[in-house]
A and B are shown apart, each in its own frame.
Chain A
Amino acid sequence: GQNIDQPTEMTATEGAIVQINCTYQTSGFNGLFWYQQHAGEAPTFLSYNVLDGLEEKGRFSSFLSRSKGYSYLLLKELQMKDSASYLCAVRDYNYGQNFVFGPGTRLSVLP
């Protein structure tokens, strides 16, 4: 089966940097995705990693270590609008190539 773990909640200050961790266990790993979801809205795609290393996309970066079953999402220069839930999702060969989503991390950015 699959198991994905993320911290439930995090708080950070505007302008700061925050790292959201995700650990996963899956037998058919085929990529790790990060999505942002504002309350009551649809998740929106942020980043994707399939190989080890860091992918940078503006203020957002995502890191993957497949041997450790570990990823993180790094958000720099935090803005109030970054307050949202951040969902880690693993794509799994054994799950019809579909995504298994983690429980999400609710980030609150304070002034």
Chain B
Amino acid sequence: DSGVTQTPKHLITATGQRVTLRCSPRSGDLSVYWYQQSLDQGLQFLIQYYNGEERAKGNILERFSAQQFPDLHSELNLSSLELGDSALYFCASSVDSGATPNYGYTFGSGTRLTVV
């Protein structure tokens, strides 16, 4: 157990629907990162939050949004789902904001989203 908790582990939904993925970071970690991993692509960075504020944005679609709450858990909202959104969605956490170079991420076990 990495200490980063993601729920649900699996999600099957229809095109056009909206889903929410949840992530609880490791105790003491202030940063939460969201990544998407499709079969034909590597890990794609979506968005980072640090202590409740958005810190960096990657290749996140406008149909996707995220937030980090005061208790530091984060939610990734995916709307108007398309077949191509089927992927593994990973959350990772770290203690820093990214300023300290020698800290890596701790990844959660991921949510497998299947859009049918």
Contact = CB atoms under 8 A, between A and B. Distances in A.
B110 A97 contact: no
A89 to B, nearest CB: 8
B97 interface: yes
B45 A42 contact: no
A48 to B, nearest CB: 6
Contact of B2 (A33, A42, A89, A102): A42
A52 to B, nearest CB: 15
Interface in A37-65: 40-45, 48, 50
B25 interface: no
Contacts of A87: 42-43
A87 B35 CA distance: 14
B108 A42 contact: yes
Given A96-B48, A98-B33, A43 B43 contact: yes
Interface in A55-95: 87, 89, 91, 95
Contacts of A31: 101-102
A99 B45 contact: yes
A17 B33 CA distance: 34
Contact of B101 (A35, A41, A91, A100): A91
Contact of B109 (A35, A41, A48, A101): A41
Contacts of A41: 109-110
A89 B101 CA distance: 13
Interface in B81-102: 88, 90, 97-99, 101-102
A98 B102 contact: no
Contact of B88 (A33, A40, A48, A95): A40
Interface string A8-29: 0000000000000000000000
Contact of B56 (A40, A42, A96): A96
Contact of B42 (A33, A97, A104): A104
Interface of A: 30-31, 33, 35, 40-45, 48, 50, 87, 89, 91, 95-104
Interface of B: 2, 33, 35, 41-45, 48, 55-58, 88, 90, 97-99, 101-102, 104-110, 112
